[in-house]
Amino acid sequence: MTERFRASRHDWQAYEGSGMTSLRTRKRMVERLVSQGINDNDVLEAMTHIPRHLFLDQALAHKAYEDVSLPIGHAQTLSQPYIVARMTELLMGGQRIDKVLEIGTGSGYQTSVISALFPMVYTVERIASLQKQARARHNDLSLLNILYRITDGGFGWPSAGPYDAIICTCAPDEIPQDLINQLSEGGRLVIPVGDQTKQDLWLVEKTSTGVRKTLVEPAFFVPLKSGVVRAVEY
Ligand code: SAH
């Protein structure tokens, strides 16, 4: 194992499981990721161990390791494993990164992948009940390097910035300037942009002289919405 992943020091052995939610099934998912072009070993290692099925409703757990996006309630979705891996890989760009901001906690699965790879994760969500559930899952897995906030992530989390990397898991029409402002020099923003008919994934790098934008590939994410939904269901 490499330095980055060892830093998380988790006892993933407890999640070997059996059948459709077993370590063997996760390994098959990871083999598929490799065949789809994912080659960062730390990302592959993290996704081998993190029990993705625990971020879904029990009724959907058997589908957790298929290459599909899945509903997580409130008309939101957990992205397919490929896009989670791809975005995480892009976020690192092969470098050591300390502080990451995630827009759209959702189920908390993407958060957990980042949390296994980087020392400090900040995650924001506009739907309070989703984040509450994600937080409980992270707690159960002893992922302790995550800070949470209910806010409209289109404005980022300015008081905790700047960030070495920002990952946005919902799609705005345009790249929010606030997110670019909260990147440190050399920082990277990975973000889908567009509407529900046409969207692309972009990598935005902040350099000493400005901003470099690279088009990565087509994407399909739920929209970034404004405002917050505070009502928590018990
Ligand atoms: N990363 C998540 C993906 C969830 S889908 C996962 O692994 O499950 C995208 C999430 O973005 C949804 O939970 C949605 O509520 C949230 N979202 C949409 N607009 C937002 C905004 N302006 N600020 C914060 N979160 C937002």
- Atom number in ligand 1 closest to CA 110: 7
Q: Ligand 1 centre and the CA of 44: distance in Å?
A: 23
Q: What length is written for the chain?
A: 234
Look at residue 19 in the predicted model and tell me its pLDDT.
82
For residue 180, the surrounding DSSP H or E stretch is helix 177-181
| Tokens representing residue 46 in the block | 């993290």
In this structure, is residue 203 part of a structural domain? yes
Q: Which residues, listed in sequence order, are joined to residue 229 by a DSSP beta bridge? A: 127
What are residue 134's phi and psi, to 5 degrees?
-60, -40
Provide residues with CB under 6 Å of ligand 1. Answer: 72, 76-79, 103-104, 106-107, 109-110, 124-127, 130, 152-154, 169-170, 222, 224-226
Q: Ligand 1 centre and the CA of 76: distance in Å?
A: 7
18 carries an active-site annotation: no
In this structure, is residue 181 part of a structural domain? yes
For residue 184, the surrounding DSSP H or E stretch is strand 183-194
- Tens-digit pLDDT profile for residues 40-93: 999 999 999 999 999 999 999 999 999 999 999 999 999 999 999 999 999 998
Domain count, the chain: 1
Which of 68, 126, 157, 166 to probe ligand 1 with, by most ligand atoms within 8 A of CB?
Answer: 126
CATH for 141: 3.40.50.150
Q: Is the pLDDT of residue 137 over 50?
A: yes
pTM value is 0.95
In this structure, is residue 27 part of a structural domain? no
Q: Which residue, judged by its Cα, is nearest atom 11 of ligand 1?
A: 104
State which amino acid sits at residue 35: S
Radius of gyration of the chain (CA): 16
Of 126, 187, 113, nearest to 153 by C-alpha is 126
- Tens-digit pLDDT profile for residues 163-199: 999 999 999 999 999 999 999 999 999 999 999 999 9
Look at residue 16 in the predicted model and tell me its pLDDT.
74
For 74, the domain range is 68-219
Task: Report the C-alpha gap between 152 and 228 in whole angstroms.
Answer: 6
Confidence of residue 1 (pLDDT cuts 50, 70, 90): very low
In this structure, is residue 211 part of a structural domain? yes
